Amino acid sequence: MKGLSSLIEALSDYLPQVSVILLAVISFCVLIVFKKRRNKSRDRKVIYWMIILSVIFIFNNISMEFMGKLTDSDTFYRFLWAVPVFYVIGYSMVLLIEKKHHFLSKCTLAVMVLLCMMAYGSSYMQERNISFVGNFEKMPEEVRAVCKVIEENKNEENPVCAMELDLQSRVRANNPSLVWAVKRKQYLYFEKYGYDYPNGKYVDARNILKVVERGIRIDKDVFKASLKKKKVDFLTVNKKLRVKEYLNEVGLELVGETEHYRVYHVPEE
């Protein structure tokens, strides 16, 4: 049963992508079979040349390297936006519906609908993505509360704040005077390699994140030194990490509490 459930999980991960590709291929075949065109020979030649030119200028390693130098090789997938997949799928389905009295078109349409249903598990209309009117502001109350505590206790115009990712990603949308202590690329580095990766990179960010994200009680002097190097003014920690005594021993000053978080001020030395 475990093997079956892991198979189902793997299928649900890959099925949407496979379904889109299959649908696109079937749609293309539908257009060739069902669509009447005046100048088939010219159309075919134009399509062949478009594919050849796409490979020469876009879908090859040299272009990908060039794109990587220009922006980011991770953004190369945007060239796929030039392929009008959904338009082709929609067009072919309408053609099939028009010719629904043909047996072949009925079968093809049934297969396409089945592929759509198989992909539904990946749909964006999932509970986890949706917030209803109760969260019209798109800003959790906790974020506002933490920002309010920091605003009431800050001495500087732009305090540097360290907090867990969920909170940090939203605070500047609420209060742009706050400055992140840990940058995005540092977060992503530790997400990829973990906190115990034997490498000297981003040492101070790693020390701060170990406490703030995982509640790991690292050496107090090392932690204090990292806070000083990063010029952190405020530290916000989730109550469930249970590091209250540890942070008191480090010498941080508790300035406020919300429902889920404690906000500490890092004193100047």
- Interface residue list for another protein (CB under 8 A): 16-17, 19-20, 42, 45-47, 49-50, 53-54, 57-58, 67, 69-71, 75, 77-82, 84-87, 89-91, 93-94, 97-98, 116, 119-120, 122-126, 129-132, 135-139, 158, 168-170, 172-173, 176-180, 183-184
Q: Minimum distance from CB of 164 to another protein (Å)?
A: 13
Query: Among candidates 123, 119, 114, 87, which has minimal Cα distance to 18?
Result: 119
In the complex with another protein, the residue whose CB is nearer, 81 or 103, is: 81
Query: Among candidates 144, 141, 181, 186, which has minimal Cα distance to 159?
Result: 181
Q: Minimum distance from CB of 43 to another protein (Å)?
A: 9
**CA 75/CA 25 separation, integer angstroms:** 24
CA within 13 Å, CB half, 180? 18
In the complex with another protein, the residue whose CB is nearer, 32 or 97, is: 97
Residue 218 in 3-state DSSP?
Answer: coil
**CA 162/CA 227 separation, integer angstroms:** 9
In the complex with another protein, the residue whose CB is nearer, 1 or 62, is: 62
Q: Minimum distance from CB of 10 to another protein (Å)?
A: 16
Q: Minimum distance from CB of 211 to another protein (Å)?
A: 20
- Contact, 222 vs 230, CB < 8 A? no
Angle at CA 40, nearest 5°, toward 36 and 41? Answer: 170
In the complex with another protein, the residue whose CB is nearer, 62 or 130, is: 130
